[in-house]
Amino acid sequence: FVSTIRTISIVTNSGRTLPFLLKMPRLAKEYKECDQHEKAYQSQDAIFVARKRNVNAKKVKPMRWVKNVGLGIKTPDAAIEGTYVDKKCPFTGNVSIRGKILKGLVISTKMKRTVVVRRDYLHYIKKYRRFEKRHKNIHAHCSPCFGVKEGDIVTIGQCRPLAKTVKFNVVAHEAQRAKTGKKTFRMF
C-alpha cells in the first residue's frame, strides 16, 4: 500500500500559519490476494487480476475498487486498505445508499454479515395526551470493514432490498464502552 502524506496549513489565533501533516490511506498499486473464505473464488468485479503491467506507465490503476458513498459519509480505512470482497458493501460493492439515514443500537450480530438494529421512539396517544414507548427492529447488512459488536451504535442507510428482510446497510459505527441492557429505552 502506498500512503500519501498531505500538508495542510492551519492558521492560529495569532495569525501564524503552521504546516500540518495528514497521513491518508491509499489504494494498493500491486495485487494483494483477497480473503478466500467461500467455495467460489472471491474477487472484485471491477478488477482484472491478470492484467499486464506496464513498467513505464506514469499513472497506475489501483488494484482495489472503492467508491465514495456521498451524503457526508466517510469511507472507512478498512474498506480502502482491506482485502475482503463483499458485493453488498456500500463502499466496495454494487449498492447505492438512498432514502432514509437512521441511527440505532445493535442488539444482535448472530447472522453472517447482518446485524439487528433496535430503534426506540415515542408514540403520542391523543385520548390520554401522553406518549408511549415503542421500538422497531431493523435488519441491516454489515460490511466486514466495521467491527460491530452488540451494544454499539450504528448509522444505517436505506438501499435496495438485499434479502427478504434486509433493506438497510451500515455506513458508520460508534463503539460503546458502557454495556446497557438490550431492551433499555434509548433515543438517538
Tell which residue, 51, 77, 75, 78, has the closest CA to residue 63: 51
Position 61 scores a pLDDT of 66
Cβ contacts of 51 within 8 Å, gap of 6 or more: none
- Mean pLDDT calculated for residue range 121-141: 96
Spatial contact of 60 and 2, defined as CB atoms under 8 Å apart? no
Task: Please name which of 6, 78, 86 lies closest in space to residue 44, comparing C-alpha atoms.
Answer: 86
**Would you say 149 and 109 are in contact if contact means Cβ atoms under 8 Å apart?**
yes
How confident is residue 1, by pLDDT bands cut at 50, 70 and 90?
very low
Among 77-86, 102-111, 138-147, 167-176, the minimum mean pLDDT is found in 77-86
Per-residue pLDDT band at 2 (split at 50, 70, 90): very low
CA gap 177, 185 in Å, rounded: 17
Q: What percent of the chain has pLDDT over 90?
A: 43
Tell me: the pLDDT tens digits for 81-115? 888 888 899 998 889 999 999 999 999 999 999 99
Position 121, amino acid: Y
Beta strands in the chain (DSSP E): 4-11, 17-24, 101-111, 114-125, 130-141, 153-158, 166-174
Handedness of CA 80, 170, 93, 113 (dihedral sign): positive
Whether residue 34 has pLDDT greater than 70: no
Q: Kindly indicate the confidence band of residue 186, based on its pLDDT and cuts at 50, 70 and 90.
A: confident
Sorted by sequence, the CB contacts under 8 Å of residue 167 that are 6+ apart come out as 139, 158, 159, 160, 161
Burial of 46 (0-12, 13-18, 19+ CB in 10 A): exposed
